[in-house]
Structure 1
Amino acid sequence: MRLLGPADVRRLAGELGVRPTKKLGQNFVHDPNTVRRIVNGANLTEDDVALEIGPGLGSLTLALLDACKAVVAVEIDPVLASRLEQTAAEQAPAHADRLTVLPADGMRVTAADFAQPPTALVANLPYNVSVPVVLHLLAELPSLKRGLVMVQAEVADRLAARSGSKIYGVPSVKAAWYADVRKAGPVPRAVFWPVPNVDSALVSFVRREEPSTVDRQAVFSLVDAAFAQRRKTLRAALAGWAGSAAVAEQCLVAAGIDPSTRGEQLDVVDFARIAQARTSL
């Protein structure tokens, strides 16, 4: 197998007439060492079915083919999607049959789209939709047990933030509903073409049991309300969500939460308790 280097990436892009667009969040990785680092960090086994969102020209795809049972690459750009299987046949002929290309939007795929349930998400995610894509996939694909994704460094910080941190917020809480999320190291700008004007980082996650049996959407709407006015106390911030500040206070007290607390001080279990208390009033 031969991984794609800078010259290969530019050649393929030229052949396809592809110019990376900000609209699709396209920044193609052209450094084989970075690709190997991502695949090694994903801890894939020969039984894994890897899901890659936004494979682009195939830099990461090729390395994934050598590391697991199968790879499903979801690509929204029809030009890129149509070339991926040929690239795999040319660069990794021994494992090209492991690849399935799904021309689709990663934000819209569901479990029914996959002949083999994906077990691991490994991807250089389009930066403009990275958080909603991760949350959508964790919700729609219970088969996903772990993952390693490359995102904007600022997004990585927010996804992995713990309660009490200034950057802790809606993405942090919602991701924690599904998984233990941690930062897994920085990625230099120079490994991309074109070079992005933001820093990048890797984020890993391992799925865990959901923290409560209360309806997830009920918890998530509560989280949205709590952080919509994050400078306010929860008694005030949740007034609209609960129907009044008085009812919000009732819910908080019933959940064992001080009404003068702010959202950034609570973890996902705390939010689940508040949502549960609301259903009991």
Structure 2
Amino acid sequence: MSAAYQGGPHELGQNFLVASSVIGTITDLVARTSGPIVELAAGDGALTVPLSRSGRPITAVELDPKRARRLQRRVTSNVTIVHADLLRFRLPQHPHVVVANLPFHLTTSSLKRLLPARGWQSAILLMQWEVARRRAGVGGATLLTAQWWPWYEFRLHSRVPARAFRPVPAVDGGLLTMTRRAHPLVTERAAYQRFVRDVFTGPGRGVHDVLRRTGHIDRAALRKWLQKHQVSPHALPKDLDAQHWASLWRQTSRATS
């Protein structure tokens, strides 16, 4: 979608937040952070206006030009309204906090744009419930989460009922927080992420089988690693947590160095 798009809320995929309790929860989470705020998909300002009362600099990004103009008339001088596509908006390089009620159909593409960005320190994101659960590793991690765990902590904060939005979506929302780690668990991002992809997509019935077939680690070292970390040979890649992945990467890196 381009910034020139003139469609209505359904065409824009927007579900506007109307529940004051959820707005209050997000405002409280943002209050625990510091620095400038970038709000994506600002809509009618359900979050922008209460957040502006903090006095912190806010850049609110909104695709719908009419809503952007209306919101500009409602906000105080510490808020800058930008008419832009959230997938094309260039995030600041300086430290900041990201807040968003993401259009549900853009959740994954928004995260893929956000995760490699360098400036933001914390993100408070409202998204589709099942996506929020997967990103937080609840019930098993996804490839995307495992690839970024060494650099970010993902936390599922709460479930947000569909009735908290207008129009009411077919599914509930989920409130996810992402925090950049002060000290990454891994330093070699590209190589690590290729390794995680190889393990997730490699042939085999469990971590032991996949790693043995990919050739990243020899059998003795793998058996020792599994025993040390109390991981079943039959565990699936989704069953490993952030510490497991970082430790396994270090083990395989030593084996190939």
TM above 0.5: yes
Deviations 1:238-257 (A, max 9, x none): 68xxxxx2623439937954
1:104 alignment partner in structure 2: 84
Return the letter of the residue paired with 1:29: L
Superposed displacement of residue 200, structure 1: 1.0
CA deviations 1:169-208 (Å, max 9, x no partner) are 2233244222222221121212211100001121123321
Describe the shift of the 1:104–1:217 C-alpha distance in structure 2 as closer, same or farther (beyond 3 A). Answer: farther
Matches within 5 A, 1:19-58: 19-21=8-10, 24-44=12-32, 47-58=34-45
Please show how residues 211-230 of structure 1 align to structure 2 within 5 Å. 211-213=185-187, 215-228=188-201
> How far did 1:231 drift?
6.7
Counterpart residue type for residue 13 of structure 2: G
Give the AA of the match of 2:68. A
TM-score after normalising by structure 2? 0.78
Which residue does the alignment assign to 2:74?
Answer: 87
Which ranges of structure 1 fall in alignment gaps of 5 or more residues? 1-16, 89-95, 240-244
Partner Cα distance (1:71, 1:230) in 2: 47
Q: What residue is the counterpart of 2:237 in the other structure? A: 263
Shift in alpha-carbon separation, 1:231–1:197, aligned structure 2, 3 A: farther
Q: Is the 8 A contact 2:142 2:238 kept in 1?
A: yes
Match of 1:93 in 2: none
1:207 aligns with 2:207: no
Task: Give the counterpart letter for 1:61 in structure 2.
Answer: T
Give the counterpart letter for 1:97 in structure 2: S
| 1:60 alignment counterpart | 47
Task: Structure 2 unaligned segments of length 5 or more: list them.
Answer: 1-5, 227-232
Q: 1:236 to 1:254 in 2, by over 3 A?
A: closer
SS in structure 1 opposite 2:81?
Answer: strand
Question: Helix, strand or coil: the match of 1:123?
Answer: strand
State how 1:52-201 maps to structure 2 within 5 Å.
52-88=39-75, 96-111=76-91, 114=92, 117-142=94-119, 144-161=120-137, 165=139, 167-201=140-174
SS of the aligned residue for 1:122 comes to strand
SS in structure 2 opposite 1:151?
A: strand
CA contact (8 A) 2:124 2:178 kept: yes
Q: How far apart are the structure 1 equivalents of 2:89 and 2:190?
A: 19
Name the CA distance, whole Å, in 1 between partners of 2:172 and 2:52: 27
The alpha carbon displacement at 1:85 in A equals: 1.0
Q: 1:260 to 1:145 in 2, by over 3 A?
A: same
Work out which of the residue numbers 221, 226, 248 in structure 1 matches 2:216: 248
Query: How many residue pairs align between the two structures?
Result: 243
Inter-partner Cα distance in structure 1 for 2:125 and 2:134: 14
Report the CA distance shift for 1:105/1:255 in structure 2 as closer, same or farther (over 3 A): farther
Contact 1:189 1:195 in 2 (8 A): yes
For normalisation by structure 1, the TM-score amounts to 0.72
Task: Give percent identity, aligned residues only.
Answer: 26
How far residue 62 of structure 1 moved from its aligned partner, in angstroms, is 0.8
Q: Is the 8 A contact 1:219 1:271 kept in 2?
A: no
Please identify which structure carries the higher helix content. 1
Tell me the C-alpha RMSD between the 2 structures: 3.1
The verdict on how the C-alpha distance between 1:107 and 1:226 changes in structure 2, with shifts beyond 3 A counting, is farther
